[in-house]
Amino acid sequence: MDQEDLINAYLDGKLPPEDKLIFEKLLQEQPEYQLLVQEQRRIKIAVTLQERKDLRDFLQQLDETEKAVPNTTATTTFKSWLYSGVAACLIVLAGLFLWTNLSMDPGQKLYKTYYETYPNLIAPTVRGESASNLKADAFLAYDNGDYQRAAILFENLQQEPDSDYALFYQGICQLELSRPEKAIPLFERMKENAQNPDKITANWYAALGYFQLLKLEEGKSLMAKVAAKTGHPFQPKAQEIMSKLK
């Protein structure tokens, strides 16, 4: 191994521990080597920053090419038809909106107004054992909106220890798939002392599930627990719902 190979391996942290010790001793004893290492480090960083810049330019070009594709195909005639079409669609949609809202049951209205997908707050790690791979894949499917696949993966994860979150996220997947009857038992199975997400958050979603099933009384009794939990992020919204239901 020549001098530059050696310094490069040292800077990459690739020297075996015993060689690293010898090399560091040499650095202490001969300051001219320190200068060489410093010089090599600067070159290494400059090359790395340059390569990153090249890559970013390449990615930005890709974005610009992607954006340019639809613009080149658009024509004036197409645009005028498009505007008429959009206007017609808006009229139909407005009618549909009024019709669905006026004919909607109060439970469904509450669900539609207050339901939001719970974010993935459990960041997957890169390294890990087989169990955490399944976990990472489940959350990737969840983040991509593939709730069917995510639900299956979360179900498998419930065999693992400390997997309360899997019950919860499987429940959210079922709500997303418009299956509140399957979601509610999952939220109810969560332990009272569950954390991240906690039982109160599970109660909030179970209550919304009951509203969607038009079971207002069951939903109301769970929502009351959320409304009573001081300082909980869902408390203000739960109190709002309770006052609407009075």
Partner 1 sequence: MNVEEKQLELLGSGSREMLKEIYLEHKKGFSLFAKRYTSDQDLIDNCYQDAIIILAENAQKGKIQTLNSSIGTYLFSIGKYTLFKSLKEKNRTGELTEEVIEAIPFESYEEEARDEKIVILSKKLEQLGPKCREILKLFYYQSKSLDEIGKLMGYESKDVLKSTKSRCLKSLKDTMNQI
Q: Which residues bind partner 1 (CB under 8 A)?
A: 1-2, 4-5, 8, 12, 14, 39, 42-53, 55-56, 58-60, 62-63, 66, 117, 119-121, 123-130, 132-133, 136-137, 139-140, 143-145
Decide if 147 contacts 178 (C-beta within 8 A). no
Q: How far apart are CA 129 and CA 114, in angstroms?
A: 38
Residue number with CB closer to partner 1 (10 or 210): 10
- Nearest distance, CB of residue 245 and partner 1, angstroms: 28
Residue number with CB closer to partner 1 (141 or 227): 141
Residue number with CB closer to partner 1 (67 or 246): 67
H-run or E-run covering 59: helix 31-73
Residue number with CB closer to partner 1 (1 or 96): 1
- Nearest distance, CB of residue 226 and partner 1, angstroms: 21
Which residue is listed with tokens 């015993």? 18
Structure tokens at 146: 């593939």
Decide if 152 contacts 141 (C-beta within 8 A). no
- Nearest distance, CB of residue 38 and partner 1, angstroms: 10
- Nearest distance, CB of residue 110 and partner 1, angstroms: 22
Structure tokens at 139: 């959350």
Q: How far apart are CA 158 and CA 181, in angstroms?
A: 19
